[in-house]
Structure 1
Amino acid sequence: MNVKEKIRTLKIFRVIVQIIFFIFMPSLFSQAFAGVKEAVALIGKGENLILSDFVIKLLILCAVTIIFGRIFCGFVCSFGAVGDWFYMLSEFIQKKTGRKLPVIPSKWQVYLQKLKYIVLICVIGFCFLGKGEYVTKYSPWTVFSLITSRNFKLGAYITGVVLLLLIVVGMMLKERFFCQFLCPLGAVFSLLPKLPIFHVKKKGQQCFERCSACTNRCPVHLKYDEADIRDGECISCGRCFVVCPHRIKKNK
């Protein structure tokens, strides 16, 4: 099986997994982040943490992330899946029209990835101060959850609708736009420690000079030729492993 066939097989497998979770658990990401908001709100009130369904789901996903990396982001998250599908549509349009979208410079991408931490801090601040209802009211995630539950009464969430539409545009312009630059849950997961056996590791001495196949295919623009890989940004999509001539391996 050549590289193109491997990439195609991985893409089909990911899409199948994403569709399954989109159908059966479309709001898992918003429920998990509701656990973050709920926990912070209780701390802000000086109350004991309650293991609600939302908090339990958050803890389970955090445990999965610590053990396996951000596989939730790469394969399970419905919002990330929608982003992938919109970008596939964008790629199809680009191919048919013969036009390529401009590429965001590497330095800009690294800086833009910090925005999600600002979003997370803002959300935590509102919830800590007891103003979590504003986050819910204006959140594009709220609108997405309503739509996936076939509730189209969105009149009270106009701001969230507008933000969701802007995010969709971003998803078509840049692969994993929301996941990289704006997702507060992704920010939480990126800060978690990972077990060493699942860290990304490049086999430097066996790499072809100036190959960069892994970096070129990475949807979150990780530079594997650098000594310090931003491992927290890795969404465990598996592309680097598939395209690497010598296989990017995990730490032993």
Structure 2
Amino acid sequence: MQGIVVIKCGGSTMEQLPDSFFQTIAQLQKMGKQLVVVHGGGPAINSMLERLAISSVFVDGLRVTCEDTLQVVEMVLCGQINKWLVRRLTEHGAKAWGVSGMDGSMLTAKRTDKPLGWVGEVTAVDAAIPLTILGQGYVPVIAPLAAGIGEAERYNVNADVSAGAVAAALGAESLVMVTDVPGILKPEADGAKTLVAKTDQAEIERMINEGIITGGMIPKVQAALDALSAGVAQVVICRGTAEDLRKVCQGENAGTAIVAGAVEKIKQ
């Protein structure tokens, strides 16, 4: 079995993903590559909350989840988004199997100490479930809800955090975080922006302190560092292009690679 690559698709980017992205997943799967997709669904959740007149609150880029919001999150992620991704993959020749972290208690979580309501922190991942799906020749497509321990029967879990936990449990060679930006961009004195091609924990902490990394990128890089500390070889933040995905799976440079190594920058 080839090394596993976990692909996290953010909700803000999914509708922009070109057909070639899904075609590339199908091609890589047919070549024997072991691929796992973990997805978010923020915009679709926001849209449904607005239709139901339920207000949204965010703290440090993370959604505050009340009971009403949790019901909407479960409906949108496990139903609408998960099956949409399965359809897109199937239409382009991949074999895909949609599940949520609650199925078989694949993800187990406890309530976070942060003031985020019914948001969980992953405490365990049952790797046997995605490995079984992979073994049957399918791409697992995972919605980031988790079975609850303690106060609730299930929790909303940040998709970046879920993807990192899944990648760590699977011993993935790469975790690819697909976003709407080419990677971590650093402003320069002349007004240009520099793509940080490779970075590490120390550089990331400095960029957070300096306000270069903000908002929703913070949980991304924190999840990346957690995945690295748990044994994932590298985390790549990049656009959802077929070229970038193919490069990562072939061990070539794409986007921002977060590793334990030197920092490299490319001027845009």
TM range, normalised to the smaller chain? 0.3 to 0.5
Please identify the structure whose Cα radius of gyration is greater. Answer: 1
Structure ranking higher on relative contact order (CA contacts 8 Å, 6+ apart) = 1
Q: Which structure: greater strand fraction?
A: 2
- What TM-score, normalized to structure 2? 0.34
- What TM-score, normalized to structure 1? 0.35
